[in-house]
Chain A
C-alpha cells in the first residue's frame, strides 16, 4: 500500500491557498521525511490526507490523494483510520482527562476484537514501559516526552499501515528526540510505513529513506534522505551548520523558481530579516534562520533533484 499525492492544491476558506501542486509519494515500507518551516503547509498536507480539511474550512481544489489506489479526498477521518492511515497530530493532543489506558482505548476505537486491542496495548506498553507504569494516570499529568509516546502509542492501537506524524520532536529534549527516531525505525521495521513531518531535519533525515522540503505550499526539493542531509542548503537552513564558503556559490541560477515571492500563502509571517539577493523567494525561512549575507536559495546542491519525485 502506498500513499500517492499528485498535483494537490488546497485552499482555506476559499481564499488562502496553502498547498499548490504537491507531488509526493510514500512507498510501502518506506520512511519519508517532510521538512519545511512554519507555515510551509506541512500540517495542511496531513489534513488533506486524514480527511480533516473540512473541519478547518479548507478543501482540495485540484489533485489527488490516494492510498492503495483509492482516493482519500473528502473521506471521513474515521474512514481514513479504517483504511490504515493514522496521524499523530501536531502538539500531541492526548486526551488529558483520560487515563493513559483510556487514551489507548480511544485509539483502538476502530478495532472490533477485544483480543486484538489487548495484544496491541501490550505491544505499546512493551515499546514504552513508562506508559505501562503510568497506565492509570491521567494523561495530562505525563511529561511532554511521555505524552508524545502516548500519542504515538495511541495511533498504533488502530494497527496502521501508514503512520503519519506531525512534528513529534517539537519541544522535546534531544535524548527524547533521538529515542523517538529509534522508535519510528522500530515501528517501520515491523511493517508500517512512516511519513514524518518535521522541522528537526537532523532527526528526520537520519531515519528517513526519502525526503521532501516544502516551502510556501510547494515541494521545493526532494530526494533520498542521505543526499538531502548532505546538501549544503539543508545543512545551513535546517541543521544549523554554518554557511562556510557560501559566498563562492552565490545564487547558482535559481531560474525564477516555482515558489516565487508572494505566492498567495497567507498568514505565515513576513520575512523578518534583511532581504538580499534571492531572499524574497524564501520569506518564511528568514524568520527563524538569520539570513547569511546574500544567500539562501534552496536549490543548487548538485546531487539533489529539483521539485518533484525522488
Chain B
C-alpha cells in the first residue's frame, strides 16, 4: 500500500510538471494556432541557462534569469518566425517549430556535452517522509510550486482582460479583432508565459531523483505533448488533467515494472502515448477539448 502511495505521489509530482509544460503548449496553441514542438527545447534552454549562471549568481537569481531568458527566447521566436508568416499553412508552421527545436537542441546538446550539469537546487537529494511515504524534497516542492502557478494561470485566464481576450480570439479570431482585440499582442503574452513555465518545470525535472541536466531532458519533456493532446489541446483544464494522468500512469508503470515484465522493459516510457491513443479513440476531441483535431 505504501509503495502504491509512493508511486502515486511521485506520479502526481511528475504529472504536475507535465501539466506546466502542457499548459504552455496549450496556451500557445490557443493564442497562435501553432503546435509548438520547440517546447522541449525551451525547457532544455531554461535548464541550461540556470545551470550556467547558478555558480556565479546563486540559485534564486539563476532561476529568475533562466525564466526570463526562456520567456524572451519564446517571445522572440514567435515574433521573428511565426507572427510574420501568419498566412502560412498550420502544418508548415508546426514543421517550423520542429526546425526550431532541432536548432536549439543541437546547439545545447553540443554545449552540455556528456557532462551532467547541476542546477544547484538547494534542496539537493533530500528525502521527506510523508505519512510513511518517501518522496524527494524536489518532487514535493514541485507539486507545491506547480499548483500555485497553475492556480495563478487559471485565474489569469478567467479574470484578466488578457485571459478573456485569448479565449475570445481562440474561439472566433475575426469577431475578436472586430471587438478591438489584438491577437498579436495576446499571442505574444502567451509565448512569454509558456516559455517561463517551461523553465520552471526544468528546475524540477532536473532535480532529484534525476541526477541533473542532460540533453535527454527534452525527451522527458516530450511526454507533455500527449498529455496536452489527450486533455483536449485547446483546453487548459485538459492540460492539467492530461498532465496528471500521464504522470501518474507513467510512475505506476515504472514502479510496478518488475510485476509487468510481460509488457517488456521500459514500458513506462511509452505509457503517455498509449494512454493518449486510448483516450483519443474514445473521445477524438480529447477529454476536455472542444474542437476535433482536424485542423492540424
Using a CB–CB cutoff of 8 Å, the interface residues on chain A facing chain B are 50, 52, 55, 76-78, 81-82, 86-87, 89, 93-98, 102-103, 105-107, 109-110, 154-155, 158
Contacts and interface: CB of A to CB of B under 8 A. Distances in A.
Nearest to B290: A97
A86 B175 CA distance: 11
B171 A109 contact: no
A82 B177 CA distance: 12
Contacts of A94: 175
B164 interface: yes
Contact of A78 (B171, B174, B175, B180): B180
Contact of B161 (A52, A78, A87, A105): A105
B259 interface: no
B177 A106 contact: no
B111 interface: no
Contacts of A52: 174, 177-178
B174 A106 contact: no
A207 B171 CA distance: 33
A34 to B, nearest CB: 18
A295 to B, nearest CB: 40
Nearest to B87: A57
Interface of B: 161, 164-165, 167-168, 171-172, 174-182, 290
A155 B178 CA distance: 9
A103 to B, nearest CB: 8
Contacts of B176: 95, 106
B161 A98 contact: no
Given A97-B171, A97-B290, A89 B164 contact: no
Contacts of A97: 167, 171, 290
A180 B79 CA distance: 43
A55 B290 CA distance: 24
A81 B172 contact: no
Given A93-B172, A95-B171, A109 B177 contact: no
B interface majority secondary structure: helix
Contact of B179 (A55, A76, A96, A106): A106
B120 to A, nearest CB: 42
B164 A55 contact: no
A106 B168 CA distance: 7
B175 A89 contact: yes
B172 A87 contact: no
A109 B164 CA distance: 9
6 contacts: A76-B182, A77-B177, A89-B175, A98-B164, A98-B171, A106-B164
A158 B180 contact: yes
B177 to A, nearest CB: 4
B36 to A, nearest CB: 22
A95 B177 CA distance: 12
B201 to A, nearest CB: 27
B168 A77 contact: no
Contacts of B175: 89, 93-95
Nearest to A107: B179
Contacts of B178: 50, 52, 77, 81, 86-87, 89, 93
Interface centre among B161, B164, B182, B290, by most chain A C-beta atoms within 10 angstroms, is: B164
A164 B290 CA distance: 31
Nearest to A77: B177
Nearest to A111: B180
Contacts of A102: 164, 167-168
Interface centre among A77, A96, A154, A158, by most chain B C-beta atoms within 10 angstroms, is: A77
Given A52-B174, A110-B180, 18 more contacts: A52-B178, A76-B182, A78-B181, A81-B178, A81-B179, A86-B178, A86-B179, A89-B174, A89-B175, A94-B175, A95-B168, A95-B171, A95-B176, A102-B164, A102-B168, A109-B165, A154-B179, A158-B179
B26 to A, nearest CB: 15
A105 B161 CA distance: 7
Q: Closest 9 interchain pairs by CB?
A: A81-B180, A110-B180, A93-B175, A77-B177, A106-B168, A78-B180, A95-B168, A105-B164, A78-B182
B174 A55 contact: yes
A80 to B, nearest CB: 8
Contacts of A103: 168
A155 B172 CA distance: 15
A95 B174 contact: no
A98 B179 contact: no
Contacts of A96: 171
